[in-house]
Amino acid sequence: DSGVTQTPKHLITATGQRVTLRCSPRSGDLSVYWYQQSLDQGLQFLIQYYNGEERAKGNILERFSAQQFPDLHSELNLSSLELGDSALYFCASSVSGIHTGELFFGEGSRLTVL
């Protein structure tokens, strides 16, 4: 158990809809990262938050947005969903605000868009 909690574990929705994925980092970790994992693209970095502030941005679509709240949990909002958005979405956390490779990942949220 990494200590990172993600909900929901599975989500099935239709094209055009909007969903919110939630992540609670490990106790004491201030950084939260969101990653997308699909069969053809592998693990792709989306965005990083550190102590409530956006710290780094990766290949995140404009239809996607995220935020980190004062209690350090984070939400990833996916809107106007397309079939190609079907993937595993992982949250990871770390203590440092500097982008690091030593991350603790949650078990992921599997999104299926029909």
Partner 1 sequence: EDQVTQSPEALRLQEGESSSLNCSYTVSGLRGLFWYRQDPGKGPEFLFTLYSAGEEKEKERLKATLTKKESFLHITAPKPEDSATYLCAVLPSSNTGKLIFGQGTTLQVKP
Q: How far apart are CA 22 and CA 92, in angstroms?
A: 12
Give whichever of 37 and 79 is closer to partner 1, judged by the CB atom: 37
Q: Kindly state the smallest distance separating residue 49's Cβ from partner 1, in Å.
A: 14
Q: Kindly state the smallest distance separating residue 89's Cβ from partner 1, in Å.
A: 10
Q: How far apart are CA 77 and CA 38, in angstroms?
A: 18
Give whichever of 95 and 103 is closer to partner 1, judged by the CB atom: 103
The DSSP code for 2 is: -
Give me the amino acid identity at 79.
S
Q: Which residues bind partner 1 (CB under 8 A)?
A: 2, 4, 42-45, 48, 56, 58, 90, 92, 99-108
Give whichever of 7 and 17 is closer to partner 1, judged by the CB atom: 7
What is the Cα gyration radius of the chain?
A: 13
